[in-house]
Amino acid sequence: MTLKSVGTFAALFLVGVAPAIAAPQQVGVVAKVDRQAVASQSGQARDMAPQGPVFFKDMIRTGAESRLEAKLADDTVLTLGENGRLTVDDFVYKPGAQGGKLALSVARGAFLFVGGKIEGPTGGNVAIKTAVGTLGVRGTTVWGGAIDGGYGVLVLDGEVMLKTKRGSVLMRKGQGTMVYKGRAPEAAAPWPDDRTKRAVATVTISEQAQFVPTLNR
């Protein structure tokens, strides 16, 4: 056998025994889409169509005037407003077991988080990284996003701790905070009705919602 043939054989052998690339783990399903939403994973993009999968480490983006609602395996519900960007950074959940772990990054856009079983009786480890800091949540429904010249967080149920580089604030049901550039979070307090309505509108999906594919057309 020549050196060339030995090299060819070795190359073929290594290809044969190379481990297969693991398929991404599905952690949820798309519940609703209004207009456009796309997920990127390992350099590949796909439309987030209703009833389609949500995979671990998906980087999810919504378009202009668009909304997306996804339901994770533990019944957590995530809604992302227009021009948003969200990633599921960590998801550890075993049905029937207490605890677990969920970490999200919302790099852009308004969002609504409704906690699921990971937030059960023992309070799983749930963290949401936002543009201004990290939210630690418990038994929670919480909204976050840009509003009124700053970044707002509104707790609709449960309890949320927002930690930023300039300070922290604890909020309970009915309370919110505002974070302005270069400042610590404002003290927890009820929001004016008008601000609350405008916040909720950013993540509201119309009953007439219509999915519009953006890829492979």
| Nearest 10 degrees: Cα torsion 200, 59, 179, 156 | 30
Residues 146, 147, 153, 157: is their CA dihedral positive or negative?
A: negative
- Please give the C-alpha separations between residue 117 and each of 69, 84, 95, in angstroms, as whole numbers: 18, 25, 9
Q: 106 with 68: CB under 8 angstroms?
A: no
pLDDT tens, 36-56? 999 999 889 999 999 999 999
pLDDT of residue 97: 75
Beta bridge partners of 79: 69, 112
How many CB atoms neighbour CB 98 within 10 A? 12
What is the arithmetic mean of pLDDT over 89-102? Answer: 87
Q: How far, in Å, CA of 31 to CA of 36, rounded? A: 13
Q: How confident is the model at residue 124 (pLDDT cuts 50, 70, 90)?
A: low
Sequence length of the chain is 217
- Please give the C-alpha separations between residue 129 and each of 55, 164, 211, in angstroms, as whole numbers: 18, 10, 28
Q: How confident is the model at residue 121 (pLDDT cuts 50, 70, 90)?
A: low
Structure tokens at 100: 């677990």
Q: Please state the pTM of the whole predicted model.
A: 0.87
Q: 77 with 116: CB under 8 angstroms?
A: yes
Q: How confident is the model at residue 123 (pLDDT cuts 50, 70, 90)?
A: low
In the chain, the percentage of residues whose pLDDT exceeds 70 is 87
Domains of the chain, with CATH numbers? 25-201 (2.60.120.1440)
Examine the pLDDT at 84 and tell me if it is beyond 90.
yes
157-178 as b/e, with b when 16 or more CB fall inside 10 Å? ebbbebbbeeeebbbeeebbbb
Q: How far, in Å, CA of 50 to CA of 5, rounded? A: 52
**Helix ranges restricted to H, the chain:** 3-17, 193-201
pLDDT tens, 145-170? 999 999 999 999 999 999 999 999 99
Lowest mean pLDDT among 8-12, 63-67, 147-151, 183-187: 8-12
pLDDT of residue 12: 38
Q: State the residue for tokens 């395996």.
A: 73
